[in-house]
Amino acid sequence: MAETVKLTCLDCGQANRVPAARLGAAPKCGVCGAGLVAGKVAALDLRTLEKAAKSDELPLLVDFWAPWCGPCRAMAPEFQKAAQMLAPRVRLAKIDTQSNPDAAIRYSIQGIPAFILFHRGREVARLAGARPAADLVAFVQGKIPARA
- Please indicate, yes or no, if residue 8 is contained in any of the structural domains: no
Residue 147's pLDDT is 55
- Please indicate, yes or no, if residue 108 is contained in any of the structural domains: yes
DSSP 115-141: EEEEETTEEEEEEES---HHHHHHHHH
Structural domains in the chain (count)? 1
Residue 75's pLDDT is 94
Contact call for residues 7 and 37 (beta carbons, < 8 A): yes
Contact call for residues 109 and 61 (beta carbons, < 8 A): no
Name the amino acid, one letter, at 89: R
- 72 catalytic? Reply is yes
Residue 1's pLDDT is 41
Residue 12's pLDDT is 93
Contact call for residues 104 and 96 (beta carbons, < 8 A): no
What residues form DSSP beta bridges with 18?
A: 5
The active-site residue, picked from 9, 29, 32, 69, is 69
- Please indicate, yes or no, if residue 15 is contained in any of the structural domains: no
Q: At 131, which CATH number?
A: 3.40.30.10
Contact call for residues 62 and 54 (beta carbons, < 8 A): no
Contact call for residues 130 and 75 (beta carbons, < 8 A): yes
- Please indicate, yes or no, if residue 116 is contained in any of the structural domains: yes
Residue 145's pLDDT is 74
- Please indicate, yes or no, if residue 30 is contained in any of the structural domains: no
- Please indicate, yes or no, if residue 112 is contained in any of the structural domains: yes
Residue 2's pLDDT is 56
- 29 catalytic? Reply is no
Domain containing 55: what range?
A: 39-143
- Please indicate, yes or no, if residue 44 is contained in any of the structural domains: yes
Q: Which residues of the chain have pLDDT under 70?
A: 1-2, 146-148
